[in-house]
Amino acid sequence: MNLIDCKNIFITGVTGVVGGRLLYEILASTQANVYCLVRADNIQKAKQRIVDILAVYDPQHQIFSQFESRTHVIIGDITNKHFGLTTEDYSQLVQKIDQVFHVAANVNMVASFEKLAEVNLKGTSEVIEFCLAGKIPMLHTSSYSVIGSKTMEPGLVFKESDLDIGQTFDNQNYEHTKLQAEQRIHEAGKRGLKWVIVRLGDILGDSKTGCYPLTGTTIKGIYYGIIKSIVDTGLFFFLKDYFYITPVDYAAESSLHLALNPEAYGKTFHIINPDCKSFYDFVNLIVDVGYRVKILPYEKYISLFRDNAVFKEGKVYSSSFVNLLLFSDLITGSELSPDLIDTSVIIDTSNAEEFLSKANIFCHKVDTDLLSTYLKYCVEKGFIASPANQSPLATIKY
């Protein structure tokens, strides 16, 4: 399998969870120069943001010299025409770049469609035009959540080649924008765009080190919010819905390989752990690591927090996950209820597995070893307590 030898790579979203790990992967496994588009007041602030996220995945600064010599910071905004660059600078960049990685996205789950569309749609269109201008191949990071309402259709197999399968997006603005972004890329393909789409799973830390930006980012990820709430309170609810735990190193390594593989052009890949587990299995693994967790019916769980009946160290317990859960319950009417989301929808990964196996790229199974790695890292960073220090757990007061 012959991969493209890129000399100059352009990446958006480099200061995010996946973008930062992708930059690490590019610097560690290629010789390419990397041009990073960052919103900031000046080069120094932009560079510091990149250094901060890179340090999460490279705490020993083993590739910092590579960063210094091969990374170039560009101040700009994908929502502006030509990214806000001058005509001359934009033209020079178009002529220089061999490969684009479009990772930037607004992932706010409670924002309006219009707000999300600024980055997720308008920004994607600007990146598309950039690629078309220079005949540059483009990798676009999407999400399996483009399945929308079809996630509630038991027995459905969501294939990597599927796009519009009649799904709807009631109060799922983020998911809706990601579907429309994919549609724009398909349309651009008719104009000559060479593209690869990767739909990512539920991204957690590095499978080997557990590294993940728990601090310093505006959005830590709802999944780490779940972990923190479970450890803090010792409570969770019974949920059979699938949790597609996908290590960030698998997402980055897979994305890089597919982007540089011409055989992948015009295809979509589900970069999702083939070893999918339910949330219930996930909680059981947390218990296996040594934490105490009491499982409640969903309605009982949500009512406790709705009534401010859960206390931790004398105060009503609150967290980002609990707040999102209450918001979702208020807007949708128990959208997360197991009665509504008790599905056997399968996210097919066969195309991705076939391509990646040839390069010996495999995803770590979801087991006690993986969860131990993640939880140990969270403990080391002071994000959660260790099993031995989990007490005192939350108390329930009515």
Q: What is the DSSP string of 353-385?
A: HHHHHTTT--PPPSSHHHHHHHHHHHHHTTSS-
The number of angstroms, rounded, from the C-alpha of 48 to the middle of its chain's C-alpha atoms is 22
Asked whether residue 245 carries a pLDDT value surpassing 90, the answer given is yes
Task: Check if the beta carbon of residue 102 is closer than 8 Å to that of residue 140.
Answer: yes
Please classify residue 392 by burial: count the beta carbons closer than 10 Å to its beta carbon, then call 0-12 exposed, 13-18 middle and 19+ buried: exposed
The average pLDDT across 158-169 equals: 96
SS3 227: helix
User: Which candidate, 289, 292, 291, 294, places its Cα nearest to that of 371?
Assistant: 289
pLDDT value at residue 216: 56
Average pLDDT over residues 269-286: 95
**pLDDT tens digits for range 178-195:** 999 999 999 999 999 999
- Whole-number Å distance between alpha carbons of 102 and 124: 8
Q: What is the pTM of this model?
A: 0.94
pLDDT computed for residue 324 by the predictor: 83
Q: Which domains does the chain have, with CATH numbers?
A: 8-220+244-274+345-366 (3.40.50.720)
- Spatial neighbors of 5 by CB under 8 A, at least 6 apart, are none
Helix axes 298-306, 320-332, angle to 10 degrees: 110
Whether 80 has a pLDDT exceeding 60, the answer reads yes
Residue indicated by tokens 């340090």:
55
3-state secondary structure of 247: strand
Say what percent of the chain tops pLDDT 70.
94
Helix ranges (DSSP H) in 163-276: 173-189, 222-233, 248-259
- Contacts with 390 (C-beta within 8 Å, 6 or more apart), sequence order: 231, 234, 291, 292
